[in-house]
Amino acid sequence: MAAKAQAAWTAFGAAVLVFMLSPLVLVVFFSLAENANATFPPGGATLHWYGVLFDNADFWKALGNSAIVTLSVGLVSMIAGTLAAMALARSGPKLANGVIALITLPIMLPPLVLALALATGYSSLGLPLGLSTVIPSHLVFTQPFVILVVYAQMAGFNMAIVDSARDLGAGSWTIFRTVILPIIRPTLIGATLMAMAVSLDDFIITYFTIGGGMTLPTMIWGMLRKALDPSINALGSLVLVATIGTSLIALRLTRYRG
Amino acid sequence: MSDPLLRLRNISKNYRETQAVHPLDLDVERGDFVALLGPSGCGKTTLLRMIGGFLPPSTGTIEIGGQDVTALGPEKRNTNMVFQGYGLFPHMTVAQNIGYGPKIAGRDPEQIDLDVVRMLNLVHLGAVADRLPAALSGGQQQRVALARALVMRPSILLLDEPLAALDLKLRKAMQDELKSLHRAIGGTFIFVTHDQGEAIDLANRIVVMEAGRIVQQGTPEDVYRRPASRFVASFIGDANMLSAVRKGGEVEIGSGRLPSPGPDGPVLVVIRPDDIALAGDGPLTLAGTVTESRFMGPYLRLVVTLADGTAVTVHRPSGAEGAAPPPMGSTATLGLPAAACSVVAP
């Protein structure tokens, strides 16, 4: 009886897993299949749809935009996030917890509400929509990741190390460069990659704040509305690989506790 | 007194409502090995951190070698500190840790290498020069911290509970090492400790602190033999405290009187267990009954209960003169040498 129940639960778990992961598998599968309708039977294996994608001028434009947004968001998140985290670590835990609760509010909000708020905000300020509004919008929800991760390390940072460096004659900048940065570097890179992965993926907030342009996710959305072309699957597969890749590196690095 | 190396005048520190250190003066001579001794929260670490420049004092001035350094941060003071958690740089090897200060100071790289090797030899760490701190034992990390501070040739070496993290055996070994280091380089050391045994063993001057104030300072023998207060007497070593009354500059105790200038009123007579003679025949004697007798290894610990119920502890060397310890329940007459008695406020 117990064995039967055990088997049933295992089967149920497997079914849930298949249901959750099979769409991802299918995206990759159909991106490599000949069938132009992305349905079964798939036909033979081909890289044709990747060719179609690469011939699409919109793809390159979207890729360029995504690269600009992702890299800018990564860079700003890293620098501003580190500075914020260090300032928080230096203030008391009470103040730090309050500030962290406040700045993580945007990632607790439904993205739709945040997107709407940002779009309304920009239009009321009279700012033209474009990449210059997408980047700060992304920072609103990527920044908290970096601050949280770096703060977690800085809060537990052995301050005797900083005191020692001061005692041995180092000024603030030298301490940061020779002692703090080398110790937190893996965390910093990991947190930045996480922020970049989240930014690369984002659709809703980008869609509301980009105006006429497009990034990879908004381009996919646009293509989907026209037809279910397998080159979308090719694009989806590429985004998937990029996101999973950076996330894996990020996880690996942030788990490092040298 | 000649010119002290370190001169604190009217130094105090308060955090909002709490006064961590009350205004105090302290002089430290060149070559001194000073212990700041007191229970946790007595302000000793705060005082050390003010000397090192990590905390600005609320009032007062700090002079080192005649120069006012009150406003200078630790990076501009010729003091170096060995921190309680050592604060070693985890991403640098032992040699890089030691070479960090000289490198920042812009010393000649070849000279740095020589200095690092010299320090490695001084603290016996030559074999682990290329290891990271995480690969070292606690005692080795402690020695790296010492070497890293000493390579800066500080005019004063500050040590914050330097041995607290080590186990007993290692602590004894490091005490010996610290003493011989102090002898070898002839520097001025100030260390913070709550361990009275460590203070007596290492320091040539003990500064006893209580609740943000210096309550006594002097040689280890001074503070042990002539405690200035009930607190010092109970904090350092074992002490018998006998209630007595002072009248007209004399304290009546047992069979005799002890000259003691001061106002009339109740006092405590402090005497160490090892200063009391078992078969007393001097002017000051106390009669009682032996109620406890324990063999403690090098000495016997006896408790003699007086007629008024006061328990007096007496230590006598266990190998002394072959005399058998007095049996339990027997009467004993304790002799108190007047010179060994201190009279303090109750």
B35 part of a folded domain: yes
Evaluate the CA torsion angle A222, A227, A228, A230 in order and state its sign. negative
Q: B97 and B33 share a domain?
A: yes
Strands B67-68 and B59-64: antiparallel
A140 part of a folded domain: yes
Where does residue B253 fall: left (phi above 0), alpha (psi -120 to 50 degrees), or beta otherwise? beta
Cis ω for the linkage preceding B227 (within 30 of 0)? no
B80 vs A258: CB contact, 8 Å cut-off?
A: no
Indicate if the pLDDT at residue A86 is higher than 90. no
- In one-letter notation, the amino acid at residue B2 is S
Q: Are B30 and B188 in contact (CB under 8 A)?
A: yes
As a whole number, the mean pLDDT across chain B is 89
Q: B206 and B281 share a domain?
A: no
Most B CBs within 10 Å: which of A157, A159, A161, A167, as the mutation test of the B interface?
Answer: A167
Q: Residue B190 has what pLDDT?
A: 96
Nearest chain B Cα to A161, which residue?
B87
Distance from C-alpha of B107 to C-alpha of B11, rounded to nearest angstrom: 34
Q: Which of A159, A162, A182 sits opposite B91 (nearest CB)?
A: A182
Q: Are A205 and A118 in contact (CB under 8 A)?
A: yes
Distance from C-alpha of A231 to C-alpha of A38, rounded to nearest angstrom: 10
Indicate if the pLDDT at residue A258 is higher than 60. no
Most B CBs within 10 Å: which of A164, A183, A184, as the mutation test of the B interface?
Answer: A164
Distance from C-alpha of B80 to C-alpha of A192, rounded to nearest angstrom: 37
Q: B162 and B33 share a domain?
A: yes
**CATH number, domain containing residue B324:** 2.40.50.140
Distance from C-alpha of A40 to C-alpha of A62, rounded to nearest angstrom: 30
A8 part of a folded domain: no
A21 part of a folded domain: no
Q: Is A160 on the interface with B (CB under 8 A)?
A: yes
B234 part of a folded domain: no
Domain count, chain A: 1
Q: How far is B108 from chain A (nearest CA, A)?
A: 16
B232 part of a folded domain: no
Coil/strand/helix, residue B159: strand
Distance from C-alpha of B332 to C-alpha of A40, rounded to nearest angstrom: 107
* Residues B258-299 pLDDT 10s: 888 888 889 999 999 988 888 767 778 888 899 988 888 888
Q: Is B88 on the interface with A (CB under 8 A)?
A: yes
Q: B59 and B147 share a domain?
A: yes
B116 part of a folded domain: yes
Closest CA to B209 of B223, B222, B221, B188: B223
Question: Domain limits at A100?
Answer: 58-255
Q: How far is B152 from chain A (nearest CA, A)?
A: 8
pTM above 0.95, yes or no: no
Q: Residue B47 has what pLDDT?
A: 95
Q: What is the largest CA-CA distance in chain B?
A: 75
User: B-contacting residues of A 99-158, CB under 8 Å?
Assistant: 158
Confidence of residue A256 (pLDDT cuts 50, 70, 90): very low
Q: How far is A179 from chain B (nearest CA, A)?
A: 7
A160 vs B90: CB contact, 8 Å cut-off?
A: no
Q: Which is more confident, A258 or B28?
A: B28
Q: Which is more confident, A254 or A206?
A: A206
Indicate if the pLDDT at residue A1 is higher than 80. no
Tokens 């965390």 belong to A187
Percent of chain A surpassing pLDDT 90: 35
Confidence of residue A7 (pLDDT cuts 50, 70, 90): very high
Q: How far is B227 from chain A (nearest CA, A)?
A: 35
Q: B215 and B250 share a domain?
A: no
* Residues A20-69 pLDDT 10s: 998 888 888 888 888 777 777 777 788 888 888 888 888 899 999 999 99
Indicate if the pLDDT at residue B221 is higher than 60. yes
Q: B184 and B66 share a domain?
A: yes
DSSP state of A201: H
Q: Which is more confident, B163 or B58?
A: B58
B231 part of a folded domain: no
Q: B95 and B216 share a domain?
A: yes
Indicate if the pLDDT at residue A250 is higher than 70. yes
Q: Is B37 on the interface with A (CB under 8 A)?
A: no
Coil/strand/helix, residue B146: helix
**CATH number, domain containing residue B24:** 3.40.50.300
Q: Residue B322 has what pLDDT?
A: 55
Confidence of residue B339 (pLDDT cuts 50, 70, 90): confident
Cis ω for the linkage preceding A41 (within 30 of 0)? yes
A1 part of a folded domain: no
B206 part of a folded domain: yes
Q: Residue A34 has what pLDDT?
A: 81
Contacts of B90 in chain A (CB under 8 A): 161, 183, 258
Secondary element (H or E) of residue B289? strand B285-295
Q: Residue A124 has what pLDDT?
A: 92
Distance from C-alpha of A112 to C-alpha of A121, rounded to nearest angstrom: 14
Q: What is the mean pLDDT of residues B119-130?
A: 90
Q: Which residues of A114-123 are buried (b: 16+ CB within 10 A; e: fewer)?
A: bbebbbeebe
B100 vs A183: CB contact, 8 Å cut-off?
A: no
Q: B169 and B65 share a domain?
A: yes
A163 vs B73: CB contact, 8 Å cut-off?
A: no
DSSP state of B326: P
**CATH number, domain containing residue A175:** 1.10.3720.10
A171 vs B84: CB contact, 8 Å cut-off?
A: no
Confidence of residue A257 (pLDDT cuts 50, 70, 90): very low
Distance from C-alpha of B157 to C-alpha of B77, rounded to nearest angstrom: 11
Secondary element (H or E) of residue B256? strand B256-259
* Residues B147-189 pLDDT 10s: 999 999 999 999 998 888 788 888 888 888 888 889 888 889 9
Q: Which of A164, A178, A183 sits opposite B87 (nearest CB)?
A: A164
Closest CA to A135 of A93, A74, A224: A74
A251 part of a folded domain: yes
Q: Which is more confident, B25 or A159?
A: B25
B233 part of a folded domain: no
Q: Residue B323 has what pLDDT?
A: 61
Closest CA to B80 of B59, B60, B61, B102: B102
* Residues B238-253 pLDDT 10s: 889 988 888 888 888 8
Secondary element (H or E) of residue B149? helix B138-150
Confidence of residue B321 (pLDDT cuts 50, 70, 90): low
The edge-to-edge listing of strands for the beta sheet with B285-295 is B311-317, B299-306, B285-295, B331-335
* Residues B63-99 pLDDT 10s: 999 999 999 999 999 999 999 889 999 999 999 999 9
Domain count, chain B: 2
Output the CA–CA distances (angstroms, integers) from residue A69 to A74, A121, A208, A210, in the order listed: 8, 20, 15, 11
B141 part of a folded domain: yes
Contacts of B104 in chain A (CB under 8 A): 168-170, 174
A71 part of a folded domain: yes
Q: What is the mean pLDDT of residues A227-253?
A: 82
A69 part of a folded domain: yes
Q: Residue B129 has what pLDDT?
A: 92
Nearest chain A Cα to B82, which residue?
A164
Q: How many CB pairs under 8 A join A and B?
A: 64
Q: B37 and B180 share a domain?
A: yes
Confidence of residue B320 (pLDDT cuts 50, 70, 90): low
Secondary element (H or E) of residue B220? helix B220-225
* Residues A92-140 pLDDT 10s: 888 988 998 998 888 888 989 999 999 999 999 988 888 889 999 999 9
Paired strand residues for B214: B209
Q: What is the mean pLDDT of residues A155-170?
A: 91
Question: Domain limits at B245?
Answer: 239-344
Contacts of A167 in chain B (CB under 8 A): 52, 54, 74-75, 79-81, 149
Q: Residue B330 has what pLDDT?
A: 85
Q: Residue B336 has what pLDDT?
A: 87
Q: B119 and B173 share a domain?
A: yes
Q: Which residues of B124-149 are buried (b: 16+ CB within 10 A; e: fewer)?
A: ebeebbeebbeebeebbbbbbbbbbb
Most A CBs within 10 Å: which of B45, B75, B81, B161, as the mutation test of the A interface?
Answer: B75
